């Protein structure tokens, strides 16, 4: 099975719609890739990647294998390819990008739980979770509702839907971590490396890239404070902050002459 689940909309994307895309290739004057919520290809000319007249680094403007927001400018039904733009995406303030990313975390979160416990994800999603979410959405008149928030606010109702209490508790625990608040959770840690900064960077990178942090890595930051101290921050939860720090400590014990203090 693939590392991340794909759930596609059955319809074609609409002109002007904000979609999530992943570019996989750069060409002479454009980049190509695919949409994450539609089973469709995308293409974007370099001139539509930014409002800036001069592009110093196309690699930074159009990173590959990274989920980005873009606006559908045109769609060709025959080739099933959309022409997209990111030139004015920062000017859009309707929250569509954030809304999609938050909603998508339900799919990825439950998918990872199923992989961990060797459960048939398709069966669970199609027969139970998806119908349940549709029922929740149909029960509200708010068209701008964040499905993730709606799902979590009604998560106790899953008790009657799922028989396996272990899976139920895992879903509750995992999804509660992805709710973004205005609170910034932070903690100072000291990293002492007798072999130089290279090993400190290696420790931090391996911890960020750990499989258990896959869903949260983009929302955890580590900033240099003063030697040998670093500030770890996240808006997700204090539990996640502590879990990440414990992971850093655990990984440091597998390295020679690298120590972590709290």
pLDDT(91) > 50: no
Given a cut of 70, whether residue 98 has pLDDT beyond it is no
CATH number at residue 232: 3.30.70.1130
Q: How far apart are CA 106 and CA 171, in angstroms?
A: 9
In this structure, the answer to whether residues 80 and 117 fall within a common structural domain is no
Q: How confident is the model at residue 129 (pLDDT cuts 50, 70, 90)?
A: confident
Q: Give domain status of residue 120, yes or no.
A: yes
Q: Which residues contact 93 (CB under 8 A, 6 or more apart)?
A: none
**Position 13 in a domain:** no
Residue ranges making up the domain that contains 223: 185-261
Residue-averaged pLDDT of the chain: 82
Give the range with max mean pLDDT: 109-113, 181-185, 200-204, 234-238: 200-204
Q: Are residues 80 and 129 in the same domain?
A: no
pLDDT value at residue 238:
84
Smallest Cα–Cα separation from 6: which of 33, 35, 32, 31?
A: 35
Would you say the C-alpha torsion 57, 63, 69, 73 has a positive or negative sign?
Answer: positive
> What share of the chain has pLDDT > 70, as a percent?
85
61 and 41: one domain?
yes
Contacts of 114 (CB under 8 A, 6+ apart): 120, 121, 124
Residue 9: band (very low, low, confident or very high) from pLDDT cuts 50, 70, 90: low
Q: Same domain for 152 and 194?
A: no
Q: What is the pLDDT of residue 43?
A: 96
Segment 157-172 shows an average pLDDT of: 84
Interval 208-236 mean pLDDT: 86
Does residue 184 contact residue 233 with C-beta atoms inside 8 Å? yes
- Per residue in 203-217, pLDDT (tens digit) is 999 999 998 888 788
Q: For residue 29, what is the domain's CATH number? A: 2.40.50.140
- Element at 72 (helix H, strand E): strand 67-76
d(CA 50, CA 70): 11
Number of domains observed in the structure of the chain: 3
At which of 118, 152, 176 does a domain end? 176
Half-sphere exposure of 52 (CA within 13 A, CB side): 10
Which of 176, 205, 237 terminates a domain? The answer is: 176
Residue 132: the pLDDT is 87
Full DSSP string of 115-173:
HHTT--HHHHIIIIIHHHHHHHHHT---TT--HHHHHHHTGGGGGGT---HHHHHHHHH
């Amino acid at each position: 099975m693939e590392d991340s689940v794909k759930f596609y909309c059955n319809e074609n994307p609409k002109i002007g719609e904000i979609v999530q895309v992943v570019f996989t290739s750069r060409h002479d004057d454009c980049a190509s890739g695919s949409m994450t919520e539609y089973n469709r290809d995308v293409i974007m000319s370099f001139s539509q990647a930014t409002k800036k007249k001069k592009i110093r680094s196309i690699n930074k403007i159009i990173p590959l294998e990274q989920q980005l927001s873009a606006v559908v400018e045109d769609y060709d039904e025959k080739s099933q390819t959309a022409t997209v733009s990111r030139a004015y995406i920062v000017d859009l303030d309707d929250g569509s990008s954030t809304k999609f990313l938050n909603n998508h975390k339900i799919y990825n979160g439950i998918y990872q739980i199923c992989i961990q416990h060797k459960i048939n994800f398709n069966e669970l999603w199609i027969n139970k979770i998806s119908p349940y979410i549709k029922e929740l959405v149909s029960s509200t008149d708010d068209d701008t509702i964040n499905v993730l928030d709606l799902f979590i606010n009604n998560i106790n109702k899953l008790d009657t839907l799922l028989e396996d209490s272990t899976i139920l508790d895992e879903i509750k625990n995992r999804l509660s971590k992805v709710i973004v608040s205005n609170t910034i959770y932070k903690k100072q840690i000291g990293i002492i490396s007798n072999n130089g900064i290279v090993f400190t960077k290696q420790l931090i990178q391996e911890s960020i890239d750990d499989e258990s942090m896959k869903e949260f890595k983009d929302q955890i930051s580590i900033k240099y404070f003063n030697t040998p101290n670093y500030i770890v921050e996240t808006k997700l939860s204090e539990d996640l902050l502590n879990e990440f720090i414990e992971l850093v400590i655990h990984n440091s014990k597998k390295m020679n002459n690298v120590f972590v203090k709290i």
